[in-house]
Structure 1
């Protein structure tokens, strides 16, 4: 017995991911998240232009500039993914298009890791060659001053926006169970930390520490590589049908345990084993139940499906299969599986 779809609060959902109708709270969160991503794209475009105009020959500024360009990838991936996920299942895609979120997550991860490694190599060779980046003077509005102050001003601008936007996105990522949005918020954190590191590097040059610029660039690129590798690992695991995890990938999602707990509360169910797969925003549940006594009726199976769907809006596609013997390929959730990764 299976059923797809989830109703909104009081049947008044106002948004969709494919067949999954969002409750009003999540629909409002999705609308806000899309608005924030558009604001992010506009802000980062202005930051890219400002840093390009002021970076001079600074390696740290160049690295920050490239990271700002990379920061465009997650919001673009999010906007494309949520649009794609709204499509209803087709004959060729019977599970729907929810996995577009996982593809967006993987794309952003590969971009981060690849460019981070390239920047790390560039900064490392700069240190080995003992490059001394010059920062000259600028004549503006009748005044001549050190160009480093313009660089620092640009970094302050590029740091404030991500600091605010990243904090606004984190609760929305949790509300929507959206890992691309979480990766974007995480990268926004890296952006403002990059800006702070770049300011230190530029000031270092100003006081005669030639290695401060390449050193700051090396630390920034190492941070990019770390973020890229972590996100790539989680995105790859999700595409290999890892059990559903929380939006930040830190723990198995509580619903992976709640599904069996809900089934085992039913009078006719003796025991159960379930597989909960993360499709992107919503979960696909395959539940194998061992009945007590006679085979369950159609009504009992429908009640079991409804009991699982009532757990959470994310429980979208549910299959409940009565079996004589539980599959030994599915671990017992009560056996104390590792909760970390």
Structure 2
């Protein structure tokens, strides 16, 4: 701790020595380092798979609205893995004078870009598919010559979609636990989309088969199903991405619940003998959390610098994501900086009793 830090009423700190990989100042423990390497490999595999799939779908899609929607969805699926790989590279940069909090927000920016693309394209496809259905458009699916044989082109469409159905599901299932380990929302959004890709393939196959048996409207309906899935993904991810960038209270990697560390931080601080009350503001910077913890010493006790450092380190030891922690001693909890603290304390009191 340097002289400027020792004169401050708040105690801050970064870093644990000895790790081979890091997000900014935050050194990754071995499990997270292995998870990061696995995530990078999975994303490159995803990009390679998508490159083949998009090419095949483009070659066989013809005039089918369902195949067109599937092509757009596959093309959009490039965004999350690319955003993840770019964000991981950027977050490794150390904080600078211009970016004192580091570059962790690049994860949130990547998430926002992916969500916006899904939302816009999903909405456009819904309008396009809906207009085709209302307009009574009959998509022509004719015959093509393959090796001297006349083949209904719908079979080629079905074959391509059947081939594209299984690998994304397997990739999504493989990415899901890794996204939780790394607390990476871009990776989670990618995994969530991959897991649902089989529905796109099935809906498209049904639409093409519908054309084959004379149900012209089946193609447009299938396109609407696929478009609605894209739009739903966009809305859900955009809501989570915007909340994170607006410094909402830290949530789990899927954005479903308040992160359990938010409560554990306060509970751990209140276990320190000289602290009577503690409440924290925890915001999600991307992979890691920024914590401002306000502590009220017991009556008559003035904490020493050593005690402040020990209390901060007790919080840092809870989880690898808690590397950027500020500890602020205060005579009383600052209500203006901790909105809702009274309601939270009452709720906690009721839960304990």
TM-score by length of 2: 0.92
Give 3-state SS (helix, strand or coil) of 1:138's partner.
Answer: strand
> Which is worse superposed, 254-263 or 289-298?
289-298
What is the deviation of 1:189?
2.3
For 1:157-236, list aligned pairs within 5 A: 157-236=163-242
1:44-78 Cα distance to aligned partner (Å, 9 max, x none) = 01100000011011000000001100000000000
What's the offset of the Cα at 1:137?
1.2
> Is this contact kept in 1: 2:80–2:114, CA < 8 A?
yes
Q: What is the CA–CA distance in structure 2 between the aligned matches of 1:276 and 1:6, rounded to whole Å?
A: 18
> For residue 351 of structure 2, what is the aligned residue in structure 1?
none
Structure 1 residue 273, shift from structure 2 partner: 1.2
Distance 1:2 1:13 in 2: 23
Q: State the partner residue of 2:7.
A: none
Number of residue-to-residue matches in the alignment: 334
- Give, in whole Å, the separation in 2 of the partners of 1:324 and 1:3: 19
What is the deviation of 1:12? 4.5
Match for residue 62 of structure 1 among 54, 57, 68: 68
CA deviations over 1:102-154 (Å, ceiling 9, x no partner):
00000000000000000000000000100111111121122222111100111
Counterpart Cα distance in 2 of 1:149 and 1:12? 57
| 2:169/2:196 contact within 8 Å kept | no
- Which of 285, 304, 310 aligns to 2:317? It is 310
Q: In angstroms, what is the RMSD of aligned CA positions?
A: 1.2
- Residue 4 of structure 1: SS of its match in structure 2? coil
Q: Distance in 2 between matches of 1:100 and 1:335?
A: 37
188-197 or 58-67, which moves further after superposition? Answer: 188-197
Q: Distance in 2 between matches of 1:225 and 1:128?
A: 20
TM-score by length of structure 1 reads 0.96
* 1:50 maps to which of 44, 56, 79: 56
- Given candidates 321, 328, 334, the residue that maps to 1:321 is 328
Contact 1:295 1:322 in 2 (8 A): no
CA separation in 2, counterparts of 1:294 and 1:45?
A: 64
Contact 1:6 1:313 (8 Å CA) reproduced: no
Q: 249, 252, 268: which is aligned to 1:243?
A: 249
C-alpha displacement of 1:207:
1.0
Deviation of 1:2 (Å): 3.0
**Match among 123, 139, 142 for residue 117 of structure 1:** 123
The residue that corresponds to 1:90 in the other structure is: 96
Alignment of 1:288-303 (within 5 A): 288-292=294-298, 293-303=300-310
Q: CA separation in 2, counterparts of 1:267 and 1:191?
A: 53
Partner of 2:138: 132
Deviation of 1:191 after TM superposition, in Å, equals 2.3
1:2 to 1, 11, 22: 11
Secondary structure of the equivalent of 1:288?
Answer: strand
- Structure 2 unaligned spans of 5+: 1-9, 349-353
Q: Which residue of 2 aligns with 1:284?
A: 290
Gaps of at least 5 residues in structure 1 are none
CA distance in 2 between counterparts of 1:197 and 1:326 reads 55
